[in-house]
Each structure stands twice: as structure tokens, then as C-alpha cells.
């Protein structure tokens, strides 16, 4: 969906237009302590997301159907699967994206993690990106850029295989951002669009889709900002 289209849809529906959020709400304010209200908040973002391809449309339908059958889908205690949120982090100029070598999984991935009951999925994505990259001053675009459903297999812990219903967001770093990382990753790396298919990274189709749509949105938003700055 184009930025212009998303803004028009927001006006028509009476919902706020997508925008950058400079900080995640404090813990306990991201969603509601009431599980039903928290899930409704999460699904609002999912239902307003307009898929750009067949794969995204399929994942969106699967997530909505799963949440209808599992009112505890925001929580890890839902063993069949649960909602997660992740981020495609770009530098301020939208020329590079950030990937991390996940210590537990042993693959290059985008930052992300479990909702753990929080209904504001943009807030979850921003929280996870901040914790896993160590970058101060990140901003999250309030509308999802991608949705993915995948089977999570963790061979290091005695937990059953389960589905992750991942809602993905664009996150922008400030100028001169410094990465620090945390225990989740072995390495952090900035990469250009033309490096996405580097064999050394081995990015899977899901991450590649997120990165390409993330870069596309980031460039569009940057261009719009430049046009506004020129008046």
C-alpha cells in the first residue's frame, strides 16, 4: 500500500494516519491488562494492513483466523502459537538495514520478539529493536510493513514446536547511530539493499520480503520528508 493510500484510508475510516513514534509507551501502557482488549488492539493493526502480495494476504488471513480461535494468542502460554513483532531497522538515510546473527538460532535475522500480552505491536517491535540493537532514539512507523507466519523450532529448550504470527514494522535509526547489541546476538551488521542476497548472510525468503518492503517504504517516507523540507 502506498503512503498516500494509507493516509487516505486512515482519513476515511476515522483512524489516525500512520506516523513515526519516537518512543514506546511505558510498560503496562502498550496494551490493556484485559486480554480481550489487548488482542483487539493488536488485531486492529493487522486488519488495517493491506497486503502487497499473495503471501502477505495468506499470512494475514491465517493470523486473523488463529486469533479468533485462540483468545490468548498474545501470550507464550498459547502453546499452539502466539503473536510476535519484529522490525526492519534502517539508518536515517534509508540506505542500509540492520541484521543480527541470532545466538540461539544461529541465523541472520531482523530484531524481534514476543508480544507477551502487549496489544500495541508497534510498541513491541520498537522495544525489541531497542533492546537487541542498543540504539538510542529509534522511531517506529505505526503501520505494519509485513506479516509472516512460520514454525518455530527451538532445539535448545524442551518446548513444543509452535507457530509465530509475526507482525513486522519499519524502524528508523537516528543519524550517527551506534549499535551495542545484547545477549540475543553474536554480531550486528548494516547491509545495503544489494547485499540482501549475499550467500554469507543466507537470509531466508521471509526476511528478504520484509527487507525489500521495508527499504521501499523507508525510501518513500524519506522522499516525502525531503519534499516537505523543500516546501
- pLDDT recorded at residue 22: 85
Q: Which residue would you say has higher pLDDT here, 110 or 159?
A: 110
- Give the pLDDT confidence of 168-188 residue by residue, as tens digits: 999 999 999 999 988 888 999
Q: Kindly report the average pLDDT of the chain as a whole number.
A: 88
Give Cβ neighbours of residue 17 (< 8 Å, ≥ 6 apart): 6, 7, 10, 11
Specify the pTM.
0.88
| pLDDT > 70? residue 28 | no
Q: For 195, list phi and psi in degrees, rounded to 5.
A: -100, 0
With cut-offs at 50, 70 and 90, classify the pLDDT of residue 15. Answer: low
- pLDDT recorded at residue 2: 41
Within 13 A of 64's CA, how many CA atoms are on the CB side?
Answer: 13
Q: Do the beta carbons of residue 123 and residue 25 sit within 8 Å?
A: yes
The C-alpha cell at 192 is: 545495503
- Domains of the chain and CATH, by start: 19-230 (3.90.79.10)
- pLDDT recorded at residue 29: 41
Least confident of 58-72, 89-103, 217-231: 217-231
Q: Which residues of 101-125 are buried (b: 16+ CB within 10 A; e: fewer)?
A: bbeeeeebbbbbbbbbbbbbbbbbb
- Give the pLDDT confidence of 56-93 residue by residue, as tens digits: 999 999 999 999 999 999 999 999 999 999 999 999 99
- pLDDT recorded at residue 1: 39
Least confident of 2-11, 47-56, 109-118, 189-198: 2-11
Closest by CA position to 42, among listed 124, 120, 151, 131: 120
| pLDDT > 50? residue 26 | no
Amino acid at each position: 500500500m502506498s503512503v498516500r493510500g494509507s493516509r487516505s484510508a486512515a482519513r476515511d475510516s476515522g483512524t489516525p494516519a500512520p506516523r513515526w513514534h519516537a518512543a514506546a509507551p511505558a510498560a503496562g501502557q502498550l496494551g490493556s491488562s484485559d486480554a480481550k482488549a489487548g488482542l483487539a488492539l493488536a488485531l486492529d493493526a493487522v486488519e488495517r494492513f493491506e497486503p502487497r502480495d499473495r503471501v502477505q494476504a495468506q499470512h494475514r488471513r491465517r493470523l486473523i483466523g488463529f486469533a479468533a480461535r485462540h483468545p490468548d494468542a498474545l501470550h507464550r502460554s498459547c502453546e499452539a502459537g502466539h503473536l510476535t513483532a519484529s522490525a526492519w531497522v534502517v539508518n536515517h538515510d534509508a540506505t542500509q538495514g540492520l541484521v543480527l546473527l541470532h545466538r540461539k538460532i544461529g541465523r541472520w535475522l531482523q530484531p524481534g520478539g514476543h508480544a507477551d500480552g502487549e496489544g500495541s505491536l508497534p510498541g513491541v517491535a520498537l522495544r525489541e529493536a531497542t533492546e537487541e540493537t542498543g540504539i538510542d532514539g529509534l522511531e517506529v512507523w505505526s503501520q505494519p510493513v509485513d506479516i509472516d507466519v512460520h514454525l518455530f523450532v527451538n532445539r535448545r529448550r524442551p518446548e513444543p514446536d509452535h507457530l509465530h504470527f509475526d507482525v513486522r514494522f519499519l524502524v528508523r535509526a537516528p543519524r550517527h547511530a551506534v549499535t551495542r547489541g545484547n545477549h540475543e546476538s553474536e554480531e550486528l551488521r548494516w547491509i545495503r539493499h544489494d547485499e540482501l542476497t549475499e550467500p554469507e548472510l543466507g537470509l531466508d525468503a521471509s526476511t528478504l520480503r520484509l527487507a525489500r518492503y521495508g527499504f521501499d517504504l523507508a525510501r518513500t517516507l524519506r522522499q516525502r520528508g525531503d519534499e516537505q523540507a523543500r516546501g
